[in-house]
Amino acid sequence: MNTDLGSYLRQMRERIRPEQIGLVSRGSRRVPGLRREEVAALAGVSQTYYTRLEQAQTAHASPSILLSIARALELSPDEEEYLLKIGTPKPDRPAPAPALDRISPHTRMLVESLGNVAAAVLNYRCDILAWNPLYHRLFAPHLDFSAPESEEFRPNIITLNFLDAEVRGLYADWPTESLANVTYLRFIAANHRHDPRLAELIGELTIQSEEFAAIWARQRVANCTEGTKAFDHPAVGELELMYQSAELQDGNILKFYHAEKGSPHEDSLNLLMVDVDSVPTR
């Protein structure tokens, strides 16, 4: 059985209204969205086969069938990638070794060298393994600077965003930020479905945050590699920063935030840097 696949297909089917894709809706519908037979027809598969997939009676499907269903459900590229990950059998070869929850001296030197950029290294669970003084000052000056070095006290960016009032208050548009956090967590979870620590993180957030639980249940999926975020920082006020992510050779992720050159936001970021000299570095 593949309950992840079945549940995801159902959620994606129910979010599409018939008129969105040019279908004429006839009669009353017991559930929102498309009917199973409509998805099957649009994807070019039998209704029986599609129903078996959605009811988790068939564990996997071929990539070509899943791609046809993805087109029928108008999935985004990230959603399509997620569907392929959960819906196709895993290759019969050893899984790649997970990234270590530590970073190399070279990576630490890189993070510390990015003086006018707020930079941090995250693992795939979004635990913060290292941050430079500016990232610490931007996101969590109320936490000890050395917290990422301790497995016991290591911050997790998604946990902070949902459960830490000071971090949550940084975002000018927290609902959008919360959605981005959860859709990204589900996107990466497809590659680590049997990681007990990741499952524990998701379970704890589901129990402790009704908002997280509600978004997680919607099964939306999106990667999060670049964009712009607006902050309302208690020290410097309004701040709009661009962010990017880069995958490191050890499997961890370098996350960095920077302001547009010559903008008022760069001035605010520079003002925030004034205080970082008091933060200890290695």
Q: 253 with 198, same domain?
A: yes
Mean pLDDT of 63-80: 91
The identity of residue 112, as a single letter, is E
In a domain, 248, yes or no: yes
Q: 60 with 177, same domain?
A: no
pLDDT at 217: 92
pLDDT at 280: 45
Instruction: Kindly tell me if the per-residue pLDDT of 278 is higher than 60.
Output: no
| Residue that terminates a domain, selected from 54, 87, 120 | 87
- pLDDT tens for 183-213 read 999 998 888 878 899 999 999 999 999 999 9
pLDDT at 232: 93
Strands (E), the chain: 118-122, 128-131, 226-233, 237-247, 253-258
pLDDT at 61: 85
Instruction: Kindly tell me if the per-residue pLDDT of 103 is higher than 90.
Output: no
Q: 57 with 150, same domain?
A: no
Give the pLDDT band of residue 281 (cuts 50, 70, 90).
Answer: very low
First to last CA, the chain: 50
Contact present, 256 and 139 (Cβ < 8 Å): no
Contact present, 281 and 131 (Cβ < 8 Å): no
Token pair listed for 138 = 């931007």
Helix (H) / strand (E) containing 5: helix 3-14
Contact present, 154 and 128 (Cβ < 8 Å): yes
**Position of tokens 């370098």?**
254
pTM score, whole prediction: 0.77
pLDDT at 251: 82
CATH code, domain carrying 207: 3.30.450.180
Q: 45 with 78, same domain?
A: yes
Q: 80 with 110, same domain?
A: no
Q: 127 with 79, same domain?
A: no
Query: What range defines the domain where residue 12 resides?
Result: 3-87
Q: 81 with 118, same domain?
A: no
3-state secondary structure of 130: strand
pLDDT at 25: 63
Q: 115 with 27, same domain?
A: no
pLDDT at 135: 94
- Average pLDDT across the chain, whole number: 85
pLDDT at 109: 66
d(CA 44, CA 38): 10
In a domain, 232, yes or no: yes
Please state the separation of Cα 209 from the chain's center in Å.
Answer: 17
d(CA 13, CA 145): 46
In a domain, 99, yes or no: no
Q: 209 with 119, same domain?
A: yes
pLDDT at 277: 47
Instruction: Kindly tell me if the per-residue pLDDT of 29 is higher than 60.
Output: yes
In a domain, 94, yes or no: no
Q: 79 with 122, same domain?
A: no
As a whole number of Å, the CA-based R_g of the chain is: 22
pLDDT at 113: 59
| Residue that terminates a domain, selected from 27, 53, 87 | 87
d(CA 156, CA 140): 11
| Residue that terminates a domain, selected from 24, 59, 87 | 87
Per the structure, how many domains does the chain have? 2
Q: 62 with 110, same domain?
A: no
Shortest CA distance to 218 belongs to which of 33, 36, 18, 29? Answer: 33
In a domain, 100, yes or no: no
In a domain, 98, yes or no: no
Instruction: Kindly tell me if the per-residue pLDDT of 250 is higher than 90.
Output: no
Mean pLDDT of 72-101: 76
Q: 116 with 192, same domain?
A: yes
In a domain, 189, yes or no: yes
- pLDDT tens for 138-162 read 999 999 999 999 888 899 999 999 9
